[in-house]
Amino acid sequence: MTDAAPFNLRDPDCFATGHPHAAYDRLRQEAPVCRVEGDGAQPPFWLLTRHEDIRAVSQDRNRFSSASGFRIQTPWRAAMAPEIGQVLRRFMLAMDEPEHGDFRALVSSSFMPGALARLEPVIRANAAALVASLRGRDECEFVSEIGASVPIKTVCAVMGVPAQDEWRVFEFTNAVFGTDDPDYAPSLEVANERYLAIFDYGWSLLEQRRRDPRDDLLTRIATARLGDGRALDRTEQISFFSNMIAAGNETTRSSLSGAIWALAHHPDLRRQLVANPGLIPNAVQELLRWFGPVFHMARTALCDVEVDGRTVAAGEQVALLYGAANHDPAMFADPHRLDIHRANANRHISFGYGVHHCLGGRLAVMQLAILLETFLTAFPDYELTAEPDYIRSNFVGAMKRLPIRLNAPGTARAA
């Protein structure tokens, strides 16, 4: 049996303005576990929309696997060069336990509270310098000039990427998440070239670290050995690098841009945050819930599994629609309302759930709180000059452009 889904997950145009919440609501009400017919390139798969079901599948590592793909492919992305697929299949996102835990353990200490405490002054200094550089400006493009800047500086510092190459990371991130966007991938050939350039650059840095070890994640990846003493092979090292360098800044960049967009449409909430910065930590959790930087992740059933009375056959994929879960009224009262005082805002699953919960989630939250407070203090009366333009993707809600007018205090507005 195949259900009539109100949108096509494989079509990025269905996400042209972000999460299609009306479609999610209809699915959750009519077919919360919805089977979608396949085609010649994509076998049948399932859409999950309820918070409870998505959380259950995410933590059921005995019956659901990530190793057969962590996302539902678009036709364009599925046609990319085989060597790209080989690297993507070695992402931690595409690993099951115990292998996933072994790989995660190689770098997890860099994202623990002690390490984050040492990073906090650096993040605050970068945020302050960024805001200072905007003084005297009337308008700016938020995503490239602000939203991406500090997260990229942070991930480069943690990884050990040279500061002069930060522009590369911005371009790499767009290449990774913009493979369906003609602005970043006007042809399949260009999409392949830009992706493979990430791998070549990462390998060159890793080879440098083997010759000249330092106290950074590049060195840890380049010299790592797993529990059985095996060193990571070339594909695994490149996968580690490209996964962490792109995902390490994209979620924060998208979430911050989404927060600025959301608060522009909720000036009353913005005024509360300006007046009382102590509200920002919970507001960050609510903004992550309400905006949600990731559209979906996927798992594959290892055996026949019943989910809410429907049988997912062994080998079939299920798409975990994070935005639908984060707006599930069974978990969040009045879910479409942005409520910075929401008591259970931290129950969102924007960073995933279970063993694949985002490794850098704590770092992302810390950066979001610092950047939001710093920006709102300097520009409490900012306003949008246009609605956002999103990267064409069925995977992440990343903005390409968000033009704003800063309206710094003491600056007269143009008539």
pLDDT in tens, 67-115: 999 999 998 888 889 999 999 999 999 999 999 999 999 999 988 999 9
- Going by C-alpha positions, the residue among 246, 288, 254, 251 that lies closest to residue 388 is 254
pLDDT above 80 (res 372): yes
pLDDT above 80 (res 181): yes
> By percentage, how much of the chain surpasses pLDDT 90?
79
**Are the C-beta atoms of 376 and 274 separated by less than 8 Å?**
yes
Structure confidence at residue 38 (pLDDT) = 81
The domain over range 12-405 is classified in CATH as 1.10.10.1200 = no
The structure tokens listed for 388 are 């956002």
> By percentage, how much of the chain surpasses pLDDT 70?
98
User: Could you give the CA distance from residue 64 to residue 57 in angstroms, rounded to a whole number?
Assistant: 7
**Are the C-beta atoms of 206 and 222 separated by less than 8 Å?**
yes
Q: How confident is the model at residue 363 (pLDDT cuts 50, 70, 90)?
A: very high
Phi-psi region of 225 (alpha: psi -120 to 50; beta: other; left: phi over 0): beta
Structure confidence at residue 1 (pLDDT) = 47
Q: How confident is the model at residue 2 (pLDDT cuts 50, 70, 90)?
A: low
Structure confidence at residue 414 (pLDDT) = 47
Identity of the highest mean pLDDT range in 152-156, 249-253, 387-391: 387-391
Task: Collect all residues with Cβ–Cβ distance below 8 Å to 254 and sequence separation of at least 6.
Answer: 147, 293, 396, 397, 398, 399
pLDDT above 60 (res 413): no
pTM equals 0.94
Structure confidence at residue 20 (pLDDT) = 97
- For residues 267 and 409, which has the higher predicted lDDT (pLDDT)? 267
Structural domain spans, the chain: 12-405
- Arithmetic mean of pLDDT, 307-315: 95
- Arithmetic mean of pLDDT, 269-286: 98
The 10s digit of each residue's pLDDT in 114-156 is: 999 999 999 999 999 999 999 899 999 999 999 988 899 999 9
Mean pLDDT, the chain, rounded, equals 93
Helix H segments across 139-230?
142, 149-159, 166-177, 188-211, 217-223
Structure confidence at residue 249 (pLDDT) = 83
- Arithmetic mean of pLDDT, 261-284: 97
Structure confidence at residue 411 (pLDDT) = 66
